[in-house]
Amino acid sequence: MIKRVQVHCNSRLHMGFFDLNGGLGRKFGSIGLSLQAPALQLQAYTAQQLSVTAADSVPATVLAKVATVAEQLVNKMDLAAFKLHIQQHIPEHAGLGSGTQIALAVGAAVSHLFQLGLSAQQIAELTGRGKRSGIGIAAFEQGGLIIDGGRSTKPDSQTVPPILARYAFPEAWRILLIFDNGQPGVHGQQELMAFNDLPIFPESLAAHLCRQVLMQAMPAMVEKDLTAFGQSIQVLQQHVGDYFAPVQGGRYASRAVGEVLDHLQASGLACFGQSSWGPTGFAIFETEFAAQQHLQVLTTKFTDSNLSWQLCQACNTGAQVTVADI
């Protein structure tokens, strides 16, 4: 009998680092949010030989990444063959964590297929994910708004950043994603060079950002105060965006997305920014009605053909895994 495992997991926002200095023995430290969409869904089957297929809408580059992770796990764990089929994907190099979700989804599918009992952290370590941020791993495990404690700066440290706090994100709040389909975000070798070549991040500024997270963002989530939460995110976005500006071309990677975010700031919106290296931007609203009103204005005002928009909610649960005999 053939066994089938289906994994459905979600994209995430990376809202900023709060300690890029690393002087206390830990570096990075992240705050981020799991989203209901865009999402990745794939299926794994027992088979006679390893193969990877995909729906017509899935780019060849995504298929290749899934195949690479599958081969990596087969070689490291001496697994039997299996088949993978990708049904939907998260846009690549958009700042939404697609690479980590691919690795975790393939790992979870294989783990359930062969009853290996692997945790998301174990899969991340096997596939080389979570080197700077633990947000995507925690999003896969439990969803919600997540804060991690950064990575140890010890040379032999291989563990992924620990999760310090996790909050259920208010169900009524809506997230608007702003895509620039004309350019990818910084990734790969360019990303590695950025972290190696940029000057040392000031210790006093790292302390200031940590205070913003601890004394403003975290209490604001408990109290469901979007204005206070947004003010904290703005401080992170401004300082971290300006620090990365020499690499990404400005506070925001995309000129078109940056213009939208500047407009939102001028209109008094509290919570907005760029996710990770971008180019995707985000804005958060207290209600569906407010989000729809702003979206109507934005689509009328900003007509760049590379811009696209998506309204979604946060995801307060982890990946969904179903197993069946077929």
What are phi and psi for residue 14, nearest 5 degrees?
-105, 110
pLDDT for 248 equals 92
Q: Which residue has the higher pLDDT, 229 or 158?
A: 229
CA dihedral of residues 56, 61, 67, 70 (deg, nearest 10)? -110
314 and 33 Cβ atoms separated by less than 8 Å: yes
Is the pLDDT at 45 greater than 80, yes or no? Answer: yes
**pLDDT tens digits, residue range 203-253?**
999 999 999 999 999 999 999 999 999 999 999 999 999 999 999 999 999
pTM comes to: 0.95
Domains and CATH numbers, the chain: 3-169+315-325 (3.30.230.10), 174-312 (3.30.70.890)
pLDDT at site 1 = 57
The answer to whether 136 and 147 are in contact (CB under 8 A) is no
pLDDT in tens, 91-115: 999 999 999 999 999 999 999 999 9
Distance between CA atoms of residues 221 and 285, nearest Å: 14
CA 84 to chain centre: 23
pLDDT of residue 3: 86
| Strand 51-54 versus strand 82-88 pairing type | parallel
The model's pLDDT over 191-206, given as tens digits with 9 standing for 90+, comes to 666 667 899 999 999 9
Of the pLDDT bands very low, low, confident and very high (cuts 50, 70, 90), residue 326 is confident
Which string of DSSP letters, residue by residue, matches 201-263?
Answer: PPHHHHHHHHHHIIIIIHHHHHHT-HHHHHHHHHHHHHHHHHHHHHHHTSSSS-HHHHHHHHH
Of the pLDDT bands very low, low, confident and very high (cuts 50, 70, 90), residue 311 is: very high
Angle at 235 between CA 273 and CA 144, to 5 degrees: 60
User: Does position 187 have pLDDT exceeding 70, yes or no?
Assistant: no
**Residue positions counted in the chain:** 326
Give me the residue label for tokens 């941020």.
133
Residues whose CB is less than 8 angstroms from the CB of residue 254 and which lie 6 or more positions away in sequence, other chains included: 180, 182, 183, 278, 279, 281
| Rounded distance between C-alpha atoms, residue 98 and residue 244, angstroms | 21
pLDDT for 194 equals: 63
Query: Cα dist. 140→49, 126, 159, 187, 319 in Å?
Result: 28, 16, 17, 21, 5
Mean pLDDT rounded to a whole number for the chain: 94
Cα 152 to chain center, whole Å?
20
Identify the residue whose tokens are 């979570």: 130
Percent of the chain with pLDDT over 70: 96
Environment class of 113 (CB within 10 Å of its CB; exposed 0-12, middle 13-18, buried 19+): buried
Question: Predicted confidence band at 158 (pLDDT cuts at 50, 70, 90)?
Answer: confident
